[in-house]
Amino acid sequence: MKKQVVLYKQLSAPLMARLKEHAEVTLIVDVKGAGLTQLKAALPQAQGLLGASLKLDAALLDLAPKLEAVSSVSVGVDNYDIDYLDRRGIALSNTPDVLTQTTADTGFALIMATARRVVELANLVRNGQWTQNLGPAHFGTDVHGKTLGIIGMGRIGEAVAQRGHFGFGMPILYHSHSPKPAVEARFDAGYRSLEALLQEADFICLTVPLTAETEGLIGAEQFALMRPESIFINIARGKVVDEQALIAALQNGQIRAAGLDVFEREPVAPDSPLLKMNNVVATPHMGSATHETREAMASCAVDNLISALAGQKPANLVNPKGWEARH
């Protein structure tokens, strides 16, 4: 007998067909409003869940006594209470590898856009305000040869370093839990304390996951260490940064500019001061938002769930304790 899966994300026809080969699927098109009511009604029979962008807390998962596995179409797992899942013996899997290159592309797009003031100057043209040759008031800053500081040297951090080092001749500095000799050899990179990196780097790019240790990692004290020429890029999670401190640093000229794909609250509030600053490039958490990458992420998530429900450890298991508790 096929197991019961609740799907709260639209899949392509081939992926839906693959999932239905292995499970009985209940699709919830939208988990807001009436969709959330439908989800709650389906949870008591659910043995597997697959989706993204929904906070699955204990109050919700208590409605699913038969649940064996959750497959998240994401690399971040901050929407899940892993301790709770471990106690219940529920396996959690994610999609960590397939979005690495695309997210790094987004990070570098933000580096280029902020340095060269692309959005601001494109709007100048769009609004009919380009009436003469650009003068110093509209000049940007070079990217090639500048020092790139990366906070969090995981898969995405390495992919950003590759683009900077080999593509733009940028010296690479990085901060992580511990030095990584292979990274240093590959990119001629230098390990730094967080404080030293913030003081030395021209571009500072955040790629750390959101955890209890990284929440609020960058605040007023850290922005004070940056130089007025520094450009700050966040492709990690919004809550890694104290947003009010970032706003103050930009308003006070402590840093030159910021490129942000993530925010403390998403979608970002329309009245946020960040959206009124010409030296901020703000994008809608689009790091993995390409047709190819989203399909690859969904495919990976389907494979993870099929494996878990068949009693086979998924390739991208997040919580070994939860798996061992059931198996």
Checking if the pLDDT of 1 tops 90, the result is: no
Mean pLDDT, the chain, as a whole number?
A: 97
Assess whether 266 carries a catalytic annotation: yes
**Cα separation, 190 vs 184, whole angstroms:** 6
**Low-confidence winner among 27-36, 259-268, 302-311 (lowest mean pLDDT):** 27-36
Looking at residues 163-188, what average pLDDT do you find?
97
**Whether the domain at 3-96+291-326 and the domain at 100-282 fall into the same CATH topology:** yes
Checking if the pLDDT of 30 tops 90, the result is: no
- Three-class DSSP labels, the chain: CCEEEEECCCCCHHHHHHHHHHEEEEECCCCCCHHHHHHHHHHHHCCEEEECCCCECHHHHCCCCCCCEEEECCCCCCCECHHHHHHHCCEEECCCCCCHHHHHHHHHHHHHHHHCCHHHHHHHHHCCCCCCCCCHHHCCCCCCCCCEEEECCCHHHHHHHHHHHHHHCCCEEEECCCCCHHHHHHHCCEECCHHHHHHHCCEEEECCCCCCCCCCCECHHHHHHCCCCCEEEECCCHHHECHHHHHHHHHCCCCCEEEECCCCCCCCCCCCHHHHCCCEEECCCCCCCCHHHHHHHHHHHHHHHHHHHCCCCCCCECCHHHHHHHC
The per-residue pLDDT for 192 is: 98
Assess whether 285 carries a catalytic annotation: yes
- The burial class, CB within 10 Å (0-12 / 13-18 / 19+), for 21 is exposed
Q: Residue 191 carries which side chain, given as an amino acid letter?
A: Y
Which of these is catalytic: 192, 237, 256, 294? 237
pTM of structure: 0.92
**Cα separation, 109 vs 112, whole angstroms:** 5
Looking at residues 100-120, what average pLDDT do you find?
98
Per-residue confidence band for 327, with pLDDT thresholds at 50, 70 and 90? confident
Q: Is the CATH code 3.40.50.720 the one for domain 3-96+291-326?
A: yes
Q: Is the CATH code 3.40.50.300 the one for domain 100-282?
A: no
Which of these is catalytic: 266, 292, 324, 327? 266
The per-residue pLDDT for 123 is: 97
Looking at residues 37-65, what average pLDDT do you find?
95
Checking if the pLDDT of 318 tops 90, the result is: yes
Which of these is catalytic: 175, 256, 285, 294? 285
Domain boundaries, the chain: 3-96+291-326, 100-282
Given a contact cutoff of 8 angstroms between Cβ atoms, the answer to whether 252 and 246 are in contact is: no
Model confidence over 239-269: pLDDT tens digits? 999 999 999 999 999 999 999 999 999 999 9
Per-residue confidence band for 154, with pLDDT thresholds at 50, 70 and 90? very high
The per-residue pLDDT for 32 is: 81
Model confidence over 40-52: pLDDT tens digits? 999 999 999 999 9
